[in-house]
Amino acid sequence: MIKLIACDMDGTLLDSQKRLPDGLLPAIQKLRRQGVLFAVASGRQYAALRRDLEPLAQDILFICENGALVMRQDEQLLIDPIDPAHLADIVRAARTLEGVYPVLCRAQMGLIEQAAAPDFRAETLRYYPAQRVVPDLMAHTGSPDVCKVAFYDEGDAQTHELPVLERRLGDRLSVILSGEHWVDVMKPGVNKGEALRGVQRMLGIRPEECMAFGDYLNDCELLDAVGESYAMENAHPALKRIAKYIAPSNDEDGVMRVLRERFDLT
């Protein structure tokens, strides 16, 4: 019996226009009556997820910042930040790349530099609505609650920034491709899957009692942490190879179609 469903947001639950599927709120309420907890698992910050899912906020679990932070009903359940000793090197790495801008993701606030391109600053508001513009990120590299440093690339992140960041930081930190334009740098071993395992231990739920949906490489560990794993039809090929099932695409209401069928949500 499934007791917990974890679902990625962008490219999975949201369609290409960043819209939530119709009927999500009543579906989650019906799941709760069946004893099933719904969790969103995203690279986004808590403030962004809570804003976009406000009607559901009291009923669901939030796995934020690619697993470095877990929140429920505004209570911090888990946090696994980067050692501040590494933060200066991470910020310096961004400065070697043209058209790449970092977000220093603290537990409750994203920090970006004043010198960043205006288009980047506008883009970050979608994912980091709780943000502050600072003159120099280096002045904040002693912060003890930095969950993640997210790098936005104006070009293709996989071919441009990812190899450089892996070469410069990969021996000490986890470097994850999280979208077409985004790479996340985190504490080694921190990911959505480990966060979900922490939740499983906390709630006494076994992996085989869990289901997960994802579309990108930062969802690999999430799918590995559950018994019933779904990659979206639009997912990265590498994720499709490890998933137990393939769901219809995010633009075909894939998550909701699976949930309606599996849980008889009429």
**Local confidence band at 147 (pLDDT 50, 70, 90 cut-offs):** very high
Mean pLDDT of 115-137: 87
DSSP symbol at 214:
E
Tell which residue, 200, 232, 235, has the closest CA to residue 217: 235
Q: pLDDT tens digits, residue range 194-248?
A: 999 999 999 999 999 999 999 998 899 999 999 999 999 999 999 999 999 999 9
What's at 184, amino acid-wise? Answer: D
What per-residue confidence (pLDDT) applies to 178? 81
Mean pLDDT of 86-99: 93
Spatial strand order in the sheet of 182-186: 131-134, 110-113, 100-106, 146-153, 182-186, 174-177
Q: pLDDT tens digits, residue range 17-55?
A: 999 999 999 999 999 999 999 999 998 899 999 999 999
The C-alpha atoms of residue 22 and residue 108 are separated, in whole angstroms, by 29
What per-residue confidence (pLDDT) applies to 43? 87
DSSP lists the bridge partners of residue 103 as 150
Half-sphere exposure at residue 75, Cβ-oriented, CA atoms within 13 angstroms: 7
What per-residue confidence (pLDDT) applies to 179? 82
**Local confidence band at 266 (pLDDT 50, 70, 90 cut-offs):** confident
Tell which residue, 54, 55, 47, 49, has the closest CA to residue 6: 49
